[in-house]
Chains A and B, each alone.
Chain A
């Protein structure tokens, strides 16, 4: 059994829709993410990326399969899982009536960062993200760029070993997106296991150590960029992605590493 901080095995999620019946949003996917690694989930909208990440963060319960975060099962020990990870997505907004400092203190404390070091941690985060001028400002008074920074700061406030970013750059301008990527790379370098979802090919190319191509709820391929290029014979990730997705569409078998293991 892998000792990776993030391990999923045959993880699946099925929804029930009154009109369409059962919908398999995620179909038995398996992967692992190591310390000091950024694993990218690359897929089109509706591919199953967000559902996968929501299951890992215990927001959603899997229909079948298992996953562990730092050894804690996402179904049986969800509070411990949440303590071990930071989850960032467009749907995890900040509490608008708290100030920046209150927000960071709240997330550090409730996620059980040692209470005697909370103040120091908050000061560090405020300095790291350049929030000094806005420490006492209410969140709803901040610009969207500043909110983004506070959001990242609150995600890492309790210094979790695992970080999940669900399309973190989707609503950002070029400068803020670049800054976001720098922060994620910095977290990886600090030894965190980072799972990062995106549908932007260039982002995955630049940032991810390994890339899982996900389509219709299934992982079609998983490997380093060079491995995916070699397996498909394509020079660019975008072409490799199309190669795999079209292979599924025409019922051609996937060509590389599709068992989802490293």
Chain B
């Protein structure tokens, strides 16, 4: 009945159902569009490059740099000090200085690129120049090897070739590993947020709390029922979000890359789904219990939002960990609630299952949930909490119970 009633509340429907389904795909599209736009703007900026001591034997370098995309050669002379001064003053973005003896060494073209790392435009100029110089050097080396009749391996005993072995499916998994765990945690917390406040402070504000307390069921059942209702909406929000993200990610990226991203597949391994669902349930139970504890001290919905918001922000902590793709899921991380589940999600999406750590995660979450639920039930036994007579926070309340005079608990429930 509480669920039926809740689904008629606009805020709950919006935050627990519509946002998980629609908002994050839309936000993702906006974010990626923004990146594309900013990237386009950056690519359009012209790099002003000063050349110093260009060797006559390598005049082609000058031509190639001048013809390079968005590169403008501002000066070409032998005054390096003046060129560096221009760089420091921001009049040029990069200074390319060739070694004095490079004019005579056919295969060598020693050069240094001076740039200002504090300016994006300068760093971008350096990158553009370096790309052209590297390509020029590689071509010269290959030509010389051909002239001598040797292979590249014989000519260059030590060289490095980049070969990206990532499949399209793996590219998709990489994106999902970064995005999905973060969104899942955020969605669960968001899905629990309004129901947790609505079922505690909201009841008090609507004067229905006392009505609920006179129902012919044990108080502990009332608390448990509310807890399960809040957690259910949290899980629903998470699962709806997974479906929405998996369905929308491919088309969004494809549309923004002009079809180049079409090959990437954004699929979760089937074997990961039970682990993800279990993790979502654990986080939802954890977040629901904690949010209800904080919201229990609020007398109005607004107060409830104020009291629960810090905890909501705390649940975003895993984002920090997830932004480091190479961070391993280790036993110390498995001891941190919510973070452990986020890491477990990430591994599972990548098809990795570290069962001892998964077991540790489940144990840690279970212990924390039981402790929180016990605390919620203990708090709600006190008349002054559910009658709204107590004014203060959880910490003030607990301190008062531990150090203060004995006060009324409401019966043997």
Known contacts A82-B216, A97-B5, A91 near B408 by CB under 8 Å: no
Is A177 part of the binding interface, using a Cβ–Cβ cutoff of 8 Å?
no
- Do most interface residues of chain A lie in helix, strand or loop, or is the interface mixed? loop
- Cβ contact of A83, chosen from B6, B213, B216, cutoff 8 A: B216
Q: How far is the CB of A8 from chain B (nearest CB, A)?
A: 16
Q: Are B413 and A93 in contact (CB under 8 A)?
A: no
B215 neighbours in A (Cβ, 8 Å): 82, 107, 110-111
Verify B413–A78 contact, CB threshold 8 A: yes
- Interface flags, B377-413, vs A, CB<8A=1, else 0: 0000001000100000000000000000101111111
- Are the C-beta atoms of B1 and A106 separated by less than 8 Å? yes
Contact B210 A112 (CB under 8 A): no
Please tell me if B218 contacts chain A, counting CB pairs below 8 Å: yes
Q: Determine if B27 is an interface residue (Cβ-Cβ < 8 Å).
A: no
Q: A93-B207, A93-B208 are in contact. Are A57 and B214 (CB under 8 A)?
A: yes
| A106 nearest in chain B by CB position | B1
Inter-chain contacts of B408 with A (CB < 8 A): 15, 60-61, 63
Say whether, besides A61-B383, A138-B8, A96 and B206 are in contact (CB < 8 Å): yes
- Docked Cα-Cα span, A128 to B208, in Å, equals 24
B217 within 8 A of A: yes
A91 touches B210 (CB 8 A): yes
- CB pair A59 B208 closer than 8 Å: no
How near does chain B come to A192, taking the closest CB pair, in angstroms?
A: 17
B208 with A61: CB separation less than 8 A: no
Q: Which residue of B lies closest to A151 (CB)?
A: B211
Return chain B residues, CB-CB under 8 Å to A250. none
Asked if B9 is at the interface of the complex by the 8 Å CB criterion, the answer is yes
A60 touches B211 (CB 8 A): no
Q: Which residues of chain A are within 8 angstroms of B409 by Cβ–Cβ distance? A: 61
Which B residues touch A107, using CB under 8 A? 215
Complex interface: chain A residues within 8 A of B8 (CB):
97, 138
A61 near B211 (CB under 8 angstroms)?
no
B260 within 8 A of A: no
Q: Does A180 contact B (CB under 8 A)?
A: no
Report whether B214 and A95 are in contact in the complex, using a CB–CB cutoff of 8 Å. no
Contact between B1 and A98 (Cβ–Cβ < 8 Å)?
yes
Q: Do the beta carbons of B218 and A92 come within 8 Å of each other?
A: no
B:334-358 near A, CB below 8 Å: none
Q: Given known contacts A16-B405, A98-B1, A98-B5, is B210 in contact with A78 (CB within 8 Å)?
A: no
Least CB distance from A118 to B in Å reads: 13
**Bitwise interface map of A from 55 to 71 toward B, beta carbon under 8 Å scored 1, else 0:** 00111110100000000
* Bound form: Cα–Cα A15–B384 in Å: 10
- B4 touches A (CB below 8 Å): yes
> Which chain B positions have C-beta within 8 A of A75?
411-412
The chain A residue with its CB closest to the CB of B413 is A78
Nearest chain B CB to A86's CB is how many angstroms away? 9
Taking the closest CB of chain A, its distance from the CB of B113, in whole angstroms, is: 67
* Cβ B214 vs Cβ A58 within 8 A: yes
Kindly state the separation between the CA atoms of A90 and B8 in the bound complex, as whole angstroms: 24
A94-123 contacts to B (CB < 8 Å): 94-98, 102, 106-107, 110-112
Other 20 A-B pairs with CB < 8 A, given A60-B383, A75-B411, A90-B207: A59-B213, A59-B214, A59-B383, A59-B387, A60-B387, A61-B408, A61-B410, A63-B408, A76-B412, A78-B218, A82-B216, A92-B208, A93-B208, A94-B211, A95-B5, A95-B206, A95-B208, A98-B4, A102-B1, A111-B216
Can you list 15 A-B contacts with CB-CB less than 8 angstroms, sorted by A residue number?
A: A58-B214, A59-B383, A61-B410, A74-B411, A79-B218, A82-B214, A89-B210, A91-B210, A93-B208, A95-B208, A95-B211, A96-B206, A98-B4, A107-B215, A110-B217
Residues of chain A at the chain B interface (Cβ within 8 Å)? 15-16, 57-61, 63, 74-76, 78-80, 82-83, 87, 89-98, 102, 106-107, 110-112, 138, 158
